């Protein structure tokens, strides 16, 4: 039996793909296209409004300032370049705003809203983010609806909160303020 090895794509290969049609990411050397929904976009915008509105600039009292971006391509290795739904960098660690088409500075926080590549978000991206030391990873499931907040630990991510609409919570790394969780999910009706 002959086994054919799968060609691993690299970050350099991403430019050859039409990224205007769908979201394109490089996950473990595989080009992954993702389709999103109106609900996905609504939640993504709502997270940005709620979090960025409170933590941009110098941040709230008891907090700190952050840089935020949505749909930013973050390069973790030559075979891993993720287009995160929302990501953030602490200004205390990254004093200059990240710039360019592809950012090579690891974020301090990432939020992924599960969609057509949910297994990649839950397994492959999670593994890569942990390997690269991303301190906080939020996973939003619009079907449940449920937000899971993970904190980096040497042995793997630890779930520190699981919340849904109807709750108020202080969620790491933005625990300087209490958030109305429903506001993060967008307009639920």
What CATH number is associated with residue 163? 3.90.1570.10
Whether 176 is in a domain gets the answer yes
CA–CA gap between residue 43 and residue 85 (Å, rounded): 10
Using the Cα atoms of residue 83, residue 71, residue 165 and residue 161 in order, give the sign of their dihedral: positive
Q: Looking at the domain assignment, is residue 136 inside a domain?
A: yes
In terms of residue numbers, what domain contains 117? 36-69+85-98+105-184
Question: Does residue 26 fall inside a structural domain?
Answer: no
**pLDDT tens, the chain, 189 aa long:** 555 567 899 998 887 775 555 678 999 999 888 878 899 999 999 999 999 999 998 988 888 999 999 999 999 999 999 999 999 999 999 999 999 989 999 999 999 999 888 888 899 999 999 999 999 999 999 999 999 999 999 999 999 999 999 999 999 999 999 999 999 999 875
Strand partners, 111: 86, 138
Is 40 part of a structural domain of the chain?
Answer: yes
For residue 33, the model assigns a pLDDT of 84
Which of 27, 20, 178, 173 lies closest to 109 in space, CA to CA? 173
Q: Which three-class secondary structure state does DSSP give residue 167? A: coil
* DSSP 3-state of 12: helix
Please tell me the total count of domains within the chain.
1
pTM reported for the whole predicted model: 0.91
Look at residue 79 and tell me if it is in a domain. no
| Residue 128 within a domain | yes
Q: Is residue 76 part of a domain?
A: no
């Amino acid at each position: 039996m002959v086994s054919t090895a799968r060609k691993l794509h690299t970050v350099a290969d991403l430019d050859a793909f039409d990224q205007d049609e769908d979201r394109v990411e490089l996950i473990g050397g595989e080009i992954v296209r993702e389709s999103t929904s109106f609900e996905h976009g609504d939640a993504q915008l709502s997270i940005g409004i709620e979090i960025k509105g409170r933590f941009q600039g110098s941040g709230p009292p008891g907090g700190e300032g952050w840089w935020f971006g949505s749909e930013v391509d973050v390069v973790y290795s030559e075979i891993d370049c993720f287009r995160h739904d929302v990501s953030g960098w602490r200004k205390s660690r990254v004093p200059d705003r990240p710039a360019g088409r592809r950012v090579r500075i690891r974020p301090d926080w990432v939020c992924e809203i599960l969609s057509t590549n949910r297994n990649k978000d839950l397994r492959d991206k999670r593994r890569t983010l942990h390997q690269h030391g991303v301190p906080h990873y939020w996973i939003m499931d619009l079907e449940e609806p449920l937000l899971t907040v993970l904190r980096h630990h040497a042995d793997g991510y630890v779930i520190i909160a699981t919340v849904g609409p109807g709750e108020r919570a202080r969620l790491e790394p933005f625990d300087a303020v209490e958030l109305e969780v429903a506001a993060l999910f967008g307009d639920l009706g």
